[in-house]
Amino acid sequence: MKESEFNILEYLKSFNRKERFHLVGQLTGNTDFKLDPNIFRKLLELLKLETPSYYFSAMDYHLDWIYASLVLSFGDSKSPKIRDKKDCITGSIEDVDF
């Protein structure tokens, strides 16, 4: 795994502060929110994707959080004025359900 790939996964995890995500994970004993292996395999086949060595999943995950993770991991350090994740958060409630 490349350093930037590791970073984005760590950033994605660091933003994930939804109570519902953590509650459901604790109640189901699936705190990493991993998909059923059979469903995951079918999804990869349908999308014609290779099996990743690691993936991240969450619920009600804000688009700002995805943007901030991408900028912090892959952004050009010379151009944007983004110094940390707080510079990427707009307060929007737009999210991805899963």
The whole-angstrom separation of Cα 26 and Cα 24 is 5
Q: Over the stretch 56-80, which tens digit does the pLDDT of each residue have?
A: 889 889 998 888 888 888 876 554 5
The whole-angstrom separation of Cα 11 and Cα 19 is 18
Confidence of residue 50 (pLDDT cuts 50, 70, 90): very high
**Phi-psi bin for 51: left (phi > 0), alpha (psi -120 to 50), beta?**
beta
Global pTM reads: 0.69
From 17-21, 26-30, 81-85, 89-93, the region with the lowest mean pLDDT = 81-85
Mean pLDDT across the chain, nearest whole number? Answer: 82
Residue 48 tokens, joined: 């014609």
* Residue 81 pLDDT > 60: no
* Residue 41 pLDDT > 80: yes
35 versus 83: which is more confidently predicted? 35
Dihedral (CA of 87, 10, 7, 98) sign: negative
